[in-house]
Amino acid sequence: MTILLSLYWSFLKVGLFTIGGGYAMIPLMEAEVISVHGWLAAPEFLDIIAVAEMTPGPISINAATFIGYKMAGVAGSLVATLGVITPSLVLLLLLSRVLLKVIQNPGAENFINGLRSAMVALILLASYSLGGTAIIDTPSALIFAAILVASIFRPVSPLYFIAAGALLGLIFYPY
């Protein structure tokens, strides 16, 4: 039972203390799952983030679900998912009427601009942190560089880049 409480509390903190969406949650999720609790090793966490990205739905909810499942089965996935969505759900229910009025305030726009900047910083931090465990050799560096360059010069759906990365992984890392 304590693992379920730990999962809920950890993912509640992730949902409560990160603003800016799923990618902004990755650094705090990484800290909770790897550093604080030691539930996963960095490569395992990166694998879950990759699968969560490919799976339909928000990456933070998908990752919480997968991590919860790995730690405590179906009950763990439900508890971790509930933990990560609870803060947003409660805030939306409590603030929905107020938010519609406040969002039209000029100060609110400045507040949101500040949040956007912080979100970009957190996404870059997650990219840097996870990149150290993903780019481990020459083939992985080549895949990274190819997808990065292609995404800069040819902005298309991320699904194509995910598929290309998977295909290049099969080519560079045969059995």
Cβ atoms of 83 and 64 within 8 Å: the answer is yes
Rg of the chain in Å (alpha carbons): 18
Residues of the chain with confidence (pLDDT) below 70:
1, 20
> Cα–Cα distance between 146 and 134 in angstroms, integer?
14
pLDDT at 105: 75
CA angle 130, 132, 134 (to 5 degrees): 70
pLDDT at 20: 66
pLDDT of residue 82: 96
Beta carbons of 46 and 119 less than 8 angstroms apart: no
Residue pair 83/8 in contact by the 8 Å Cβ criterion: yes
pLDDT in tens, 97-147: 777 777 777 777 787 778 788 878 877 887 887 777 788 899 999 999 999
Reported as half-sphere exposure (CB side, CA atoms, 13 A), residue 21 has a value of 14
CA dihedral 54, 124, 61, 145 (to 10 degrees): 10
Evaluate if pTM is beyond 0.95.
Answer: no
Q: Following DSSP, what letter does each residue of 136-162 receive, concatenated? A: -SHHHHHHHHHHHHHHHHS---HHHHH
**Length of the chain in residues, anyone?**
175
Spatial contact of 43 and 24, defined as CB atoms under 8 Å apart: no
> Which positions ≥6 away from 49 have C-beta within 8 Å?
26, 59, 63, 130
